[in-house]
Chains A and B, each alone.
Chain A
Amino acid sequence: MKFLLVEDNLELANAITSRMRLDGHVVEHAENLADATAFTLTSEFDLILLDIMLPDGDGRTFLKEHRASRLDTPVIILTARSQVSDRIGSLDLGADDYITKPFDHAELGARCRAVLRRKAGTSQSVIEVGGIVFDAVAGKMAVRGKPVTLRNRELRLLELLLNARGQVFSKQKLSDRLFSYDEDVSENAIEVYIGRLRKHLEPSDLSITTLRGLGYRLDHDA
C-alpha cells in the first residue's frame, strides 16, 4: 500500500517509515503541511497518516482543506495528546480514525485495514499467485475460485509470508508479528496458525515448508 506520512519529527518519521517498509508498504514523507498538500496534488495514496502539531499549522486545518477539495483518501491522525475532546474534535473534522503515539504497528495496520474496508476503496494490494487470490485489506481469500474465510491472525500470517515468499521466518519472528508484546504466548501457538493455513492452502500451488530449527517458508510449487 502507498502511504503519505505527514510528521515533522524526522527521527520518528524515519522510524515509522522503516518499520512500515518492512511490511512491504511504500511510504512518502512530508515534513509540513505545504509539502503534504503538494504530495496529495501530484500522486495518489491509499492512506494518509497525519500528525496534528506541525511547524506550519495545525493538522486539522489540512484535514479540513483536504476534505473540502473532495479528495477522499482516508486519513488516520497520529496524535500525541490523549485528551478525549481532542479525539472527538479530529473525528468531527473528517478524520477516519486516530491512533495515539506511541503506537503498536500491528494496531496501526489493523486500523488501516478497518478504515479501508469501511471506505470500500479499490484495493491495490490484491495478490494473485499459485491459484489463490488474496486481498489483505478486505480480508478475503479465494483458493481456486472458492472463497475461504480467514481469521485475523491467519490473514496477517499469510500476508507476511506472501509478501516475502521464499524467505525463512523463525517462530519468534512470526509470533512477534502476530501477538502483541504484552501477551504471554508459547511458541507452539504459532504452529496452530501454520497448521490452519496449510489446510486452507492445500488445493493451491502454495505450501508452507518447515525448516527444522530455523522456521517456516512459503514456497510456490509450480
Chain B
Amino acid sequence: MTHSLSISGSLRNRLVLTLTGGAAVLALVLFFAIRNYTTQIAQQGQDSILNAAVTSILDAASIRDNIIEVDIPYASFSMLSTQSDDLVFYAIYQDDTFLSGYPELPLTNVTGRASIFQTALYRGETVRLVTAGRVLIGTQKRTQIRVVLAQSQGELADTLRQISRTAALFGAAFFALLVALSYWATSTTIGQLKRLTTSVTRRGPQDLRPFVKPVPTEMAPLVTSLNSLMGRLDHSLSQSEDFIAEAAHRVRTPLATVRSYAEVTLQRVDKEENRQSLRAMIRAIDESSRAAGQLLDHAMITLRSDHLERQDIDLVTLVHEIVLRLTPIAEMKDLELCLHGDSNVAYSGDPVLIQNAVRNLIDNAIKYAPSEGRVDIAISASPRIGISVCDSGHGFPSAEVDTLAVRFKRGTNADGTVGSGLGLTIAIDVAKAHGGDLVLSNRPEGGACALLLL
C-alpha cells in the first residue's frame, strides 16, 4: 500500500533559500557600509591636507606698502604630493581681482577664515577644491585675499579601489560564512525530522509502541498525534485479533463437538442412508473449518506481504519441520513424504509466509496423491532458489493449469476432496511477495508438480 504523496516544495530548500537570500543582502549592506565609511575617512584626510596647504599659503601672504605679497611655500606643495602624481591647481584673488594661478577655477564667497570644500569637474578631472580667505589690513586699506586650491583625486581613487576590494572580500567571506551557517542550521533542524522518520521506518509492522525519545518542542505535537494514532491502531488491531481468536474459538469448539459425536454415531449406526448423511455432515464440518482457517491465513498473508519482514533462514530446516508436522497425516494414507535437497539453503525471507505456502502445497499433494504413493519435496539453490512439491496423482487437468491459482477456483478433478481453493492462491501470493512465482506443471511420468520460486 504505497500512496503517492503530493509534495509541496522542500522544507530544506525553502530554509536554505531564505537564509542564503538574507545572507546575500547582509553581505551587500556590509560591503557598502564599509566602503562608504572608509571613503568618508579618506575624503576627510584629503580635505585636512588641502586645508593645511591653503592655510599655509594664506599665512604666508602679507601686505607691505600696499603691495600684496603672496608666496606659495614649498611645504604646502610637498604636503600635496602624492604617489599617484595628482595635479594641483590654484588661483589667488585679491578682493574680486584675479592675481595669479588658474583663472578658470570656480570661486566661492567666503567670509572669515572658514574654508569651504567642494568637489568639481575641472579639465576633465574630478578635483577637490578648497576655498579660503584672509583679510589683510594695510596702512591705508583692508583687502581680502582668497585662495582656491584644487587637487585631482587619483590617490583617493586608488585608495577607494583598494578599500572596495577589501570590503568586497569581507562581504564575500561574510556571505560564505552565513551560507555555511545556514546550511548547518538547516541540516540540524531537518536532521531531527529525519531521525524521527528513520525510527518510524525501521519499526516492524507489529511495533506500535509510542515514541519516547526526546524531540524538539516544535515536533512534540506531531509526535503526540502520531503516538495517539498508533495507540488507536494498536487498540483496534489487538481488539480485532482478540475478536478473531474469540470468534474462531466460539465456532470451532461446537464444530469439534458435532464432529466427534458424528464419528461416534457413525460407529453405532448401521443403516446406510444414515451413515451417508453422517459422512456428509463430517465433510461439511471439515470444509467449513478448513475454509475459515485458510481465509484467516490468507488475510494474515496479505497483511504480512504488505510489510515484508525478511529474516535469514535455512529453507531446508524450515521445510523439514513442515514435513515432520505433516508426516502423521501422510501416513494415514500410507503416503511417503520424501525430502530431497542440499544440506542447507540460506535465504532471506519471511519464515511464517514461506511456511504457510509450503504447508499448503504439501497439503494439496497429500490430498490428491493416491494411497501408498509418494510426495517428493525438493529444495534447490541454483539456478534459482525454489521449493518443488510433486505428487504421483493424476496431475493438473492440462486445460486448467493457468487458472487454478485464481482465488476460490478448484480443479474439475477436486470432487469429493475437501478444500476451499485458497491453497494455491496463498502460495502464489507468498511467492510474489518475495519477488518470485509459482509454476504449475505435470510430470511426464504422471503427477502434479508445484514449484515455488523465491
Q: Which residues of A contact B (CB under 8 A)?
A: 9, 11-12, 15-16, 18-19, 22, 53, 78, 80-86, 97, 100-107, 110-111, 113-114, 151-153, 170, 172-173, 176, 180-184
Contacts and interface: CB of A to CB of B under 8 A. Distances in A.
B329 A181 contact: no
A109 to B, nearest CB: 9
Nearest to B267: A22
B334 interface: yes
B255 A83 contact: no
B264 A82 contact: no
B283 interface: yes
A97 B416 CA distance: 28
B76 to A, nearest CB: 104
B416 A184 contact: yes
B228 interface: no
B256 A12 contact: yes
Nearest to B367: A182
Contacts of B255: 101-102
A182 B264 contact: no
Contacts of A107: 328-329, 332
Interface residues of B, number: 50
A180 B245 CA distance: 28
B334 A19 contact: no
B264 A18 contact: yes
Nearest to A169: B267
Given A15-B260, A110-B329, A182-B417, 17 more contacts: A12-B254, A12-B260, A78-B256, A81-B249, A84-B352, A101-B256, A102-B259, A102-B286, A114-B327, A114-B328, A153-B371, A170-B270, A176-B279, A182-B283, A183-B417, A184-B415, A184-B416
Nearest to B327: A114
Given A81-B249, A101-B253, A110-B328, A153 B261 contact: no
A195 to B, nearest CB: 14
A11 B254 contact: yes
Interface stretch (B17-25, B289-297, B439-447): B289-297
23 contacts: A11-B257, A15-B264, A16-B256, A18-B260, A19-B261, A82-B297, A83-B296, A84-B300, A86-B245, A100-B293, A101-B252, A102-B285, A102-B289, A107-B329, A114-B327, A170-B270, A172-B275, A176-B266, A181-B279, A181-B282, A182-B418, A184-B415, A184-B416
B372 A151 contact: yes
Contacts of A153: 332-334, 371
A110 B366 CA distance: 15
A102 B252 contact: yes
A152 B249 contact: no
Given A19-B264, A102-B258, A181 B286 contact: yes
A113 B372 CA distance: 19
B248 interface: yes
A83 B327 contact: no
A110 B252 contact: no
A100 B248 CA distance: 11
Q: Which among B266, B327, B328 has the highest number of chain A CB atoms within 10 Å?
A: B328
Contacts of B245: 80-81, 83, 86
Contacts of A181: 279, 282-283, 286, 418
B356 interface: yes
B430 to A, nearest CB: 12
Contacts of B263: 19, 105
Q: Which among A106, A151, A180 has the highest number of chain B CB atoms within 10 Å?
A: A180
B272 interface: yes
A22 B264 contact: yes
Contacts of B356: 84
Contact of A103 (B259, B325, B331, B352): B259
Contacts of A184: 415-416
Contacts of B300: 83-84
B289 A113 contact: no
B355 interface: yes
Nearest to B352: A84
Nearest to A52: B249
Contacts of A81: 245, 248-249
A102 B256 contact: yes
A169 to B, nearest CB: 10
B264 A110 contact: no
